Structure 1
């Protein structure tokens, strides 16, 4: 089935989706939030009951990359800013048409990090937001006093410098704490990761600072799910399962695109696919050498069988996906932009103050 929009400037969006993807959204009562820095958009992928179709809803952002979703919070990392949004169900109830939206995310704060190339973000068990700071090759947190606070960096990185030495890009939490990271190369020189790009990627244990896997093809998006570690070997277009004890890895599925952006719901993996540019940097990776037709969109794969169960494919306007995150228990959410009039007339106050609010409001 087809879906279209025209808010991407001169290049209109065209996308198609499988009926099975629609069925998955209905059964799980979920939606997706997807970032594409190439198009400068955050996309809400949701089920429109009115048309019984998958709806793609676009919002403008400056280089959106990493996304973190937890409870009623949604954070997005951009060029030099981390934006935080909060879901206010009371505002969703007032959106038109009445009764259509079941969540509404309003901007609540922004933090200026400077240009640190935020690749991934996640909340730890103590509600600290952790960032993969790719430009400085470290994991960091943020607070009101600093642009960022470095918390960890690989042992082979000798100093903090805005040089993107190893292209640290992915982070997996285990029991609510950062545990594993991926990088595209073990380099301590500026942009050194670009040498041997096709198979220089590594998986690192944060606690021991040991390299658990090497020789990976552009690893991204490590995730701990159902007591297993997963990652995407983007250079092969693969969803890979890692055996931490033996150090072995195996591809569960191979897809026709640069795999980046991963989230899970039970046995289902939601995977972002991008059309890799055939450039000097990427020309040597296996995906470019072996696959002529490369697609962009979100694929759903059953992790036990490797079977593709459904997909959303962009045919125009969007060529690269960065992150994919599930919004659970929400069929049709809204994401308000900062200048939306509803932001000016919506207020969050302490519970004890609600009793003092005038009945007319």
Structure 2
């Protein structure tokens, strides 16, 4: 029997067709910045149900919006992308064999294709991050950090010290996770509360940062904080979202320092070199956002991604969404890949995007 051991890839001809209803504007320097940094910018929006990929090519900025139901937190690297949605975690694999089939030569340098879906049920997935061989998920509905196992919806791994049990009911609005040395190190929560939805009474200044390793609260007094991050130098950053701020935190003293204030609800944070990419959202739902400071201080909130020079706190560029996208959840910077393609779930592309493994045949044991 002749065995073909070369994988093959197939894509439909209409792969490049896209949704043109999602419009944006940007400062002239954004494409140049992405090209100079050698990165791709990825943004999720649960309100619009999209994962948006921004890449620069010859001085032009292109946006590829892909449909995923209630797209929330995601983790991405050169090999794979994991995306939390309404009741699933999707894993997309980078399939280089498909790249030559995507259009003009050199248009793309990666292609992420949906491979598996883990059904979690509705656990209100927020941020996610790859650790040392594991995917960590912020499980907001059950107030814990969890990992995934094919035998279960999820496996609880850690909960805040003030949360008494693993039960459905968003007790403290646990939402963000900062990784350090391959493990979760810090998380953000809206309040130190232990009953369902009790955090809503503390939106203005009840937010805190918790050290996962020590189980200690290291900083307090934030308004609906999100997106904790530990940078390459070991400094802790987060978004004081209800105040529209990017801040640094000293875990030893609990002191926070305002780096800058931005024109929107800050949520979604990524770094590349000295630059911070900060997601901004408009304040829409009074039940969730009512009573926070930016309602009083920002008359025209923006939605998009602002680029901040962390050395000065100055805005050096931005991408602003127009009309359709009003809320950003997560922001990630993909290094080493400049123009990735992503296959979404809405168009017929997903039905025809195939990577065929080598034909191995059947090996029978001698009788």
Indicate whether the TM-score tops 0.5. Answer: yes
Alignment deviations for residues 38-72 of structure 1 (CA, whole Å, 9 cap, x no partner): 011110111133xx311111111110100101231
- Asked if the contact 1:258–1:276 (Cα under 8 Å) also holds between the matched residues in 2, the reply is yes
Structure 1 130/188 Cα, relative in aligned 2: closer, same or farther at 3 Å? same
Q: CA deviation at 1:168?
A: 0.2
Secondary structure of the corresponding residue to residue 330 of structure 1: coil
- Asked if the contact 1:131–1:139 (Cα under 8 Å) also holds between the matched residues in 2, the reply is yes
Listed as ranges, the matches of 1:135-284 within 5 Å are 135-225=141-231, 226-277=233-284, 279-284=286-291
Structure 1 68/278 Cα, relative in aligned 2: closer, same or farther at 3 Å? closer
Secondary structure of the corresponding residue to residue 55 of structure 2: strand
Give the structure 2 partner of residue 61 of structure 1.
Answer: 68
Q: CA deviation at 1:278?
A: 6.1
CA RMSD of aligned residues (A): 1.8
Give the structure 2 partner of residue 335 of structure 1.
Answer: 342
Secondary structure of the corresponding residue to residue 29 of structure 2: helix
Q: Which has the higher contact order (CA 8 A, sep 6+)?
A: 2
Structure 1 341/286 Cα, relative in aligned 2: closer, same or farther at 3 Å? closer
Consecutive unaligned residues of structure 2, counting only runs of 5 or more, are 1-16, 361-367
Q: CA deviation at 1:99?
A: 2.3
2-structure distance, mates of 1:54, 1:110 = 31
- Asked if the contact 1:34–1:325 (Cα under 8 Å) also holds between the matched residues in 2, the reply is yes
The equivalent position to 1:312 in structure 2, one of 319, 324, 329, is 319
2-structure distance, mates of 1:198, 1:277 = 16
TM-score calculated relative to the size of structure 2: 0.89
Alignment deviations for residues 174-221 of structure 1 (CA, whole Å, 9 cap, x no partner): 111111100001111110000121111010111221111111111100
Consecutive unaligned residues of structure 1, counting only runs of 5 or more, are 354-361
Structure 1 348/202 Cα, relative in aligned 2: closer, same or farther at 3 Å? farther
State which drifts further: 97-106 or 140-149. Answer: 97-106
Alignment deviations for residues 114-167 of structure 1 (CA, whole Å, 9 cap, x no partner): 100110111112x10010000000000001111100000011111111100100
Give the structure 2 partner of residue 95 of structure 1.
Answer: 102
- Asked if the contact 1:283–1:289 (Cα under 8 Å) also holds between the matched residues in 2, the reply is no
- Asked if the contact 1:232–1:259 (Cα under 8 Å) also holds between the matched residues in 2, the reply is yes
Give the structure 2 partner of residue 359 of structure 1.
Answer: none
- Asked if the contact 2:188–2:210 (Cα under 8 Å) also holds between the matched residues in 1, the reply is yes
Give the structure 1 partner of residue 28 of structure 2.
Answer: 19
- Asked if the contact 1:236–1:286 (Cα under 8 Å) also holds between the matched residues in 2, the reply is yes
1:7 paired with 2:19, answer yes
Listed as ranges, the matches of 1:113-132 within 5 Å are 113-125=120-132, 127-132=133-138
1-structure distance, mates of 2:197, 2:150 = 30
State which drifts further: 78-87 or 283-292. Answer: 283-292
- Asked if the contact 1:336–1:343 (Cα under 8 Å) also holds between the matched residues in 2, the reply is no
1-structure distance, mates of 2:216, 2:316 = 36
Secondary structure of the corresponding residue to residue 31 of structure 2: helix
The equivalent position to 1:104 in structure 2, one of 91, 107, 111, is 111
Structure 1 290/142 Cα, relative in aligned 2: closer, same or farther at 3 Å? same
- Asked if the contact 2:245–2:266 (Cα under 8 Å) also holds between the matched residues in 1, the reply is yes
The number of equivalent residue pairs is 341
1:326 paired with 2:333, answer yes
Alignment deviations for residues 13-39 of structure 1 (CA, whole Å, 9 cap, x no partner): 321111111111110111111100001
Moved over 4 A (4+): 341-344
Secondary structure of the corresponding residue to residue 187 of structure 1: coil
Q: CA deviation at 1:7?
A: 3.0
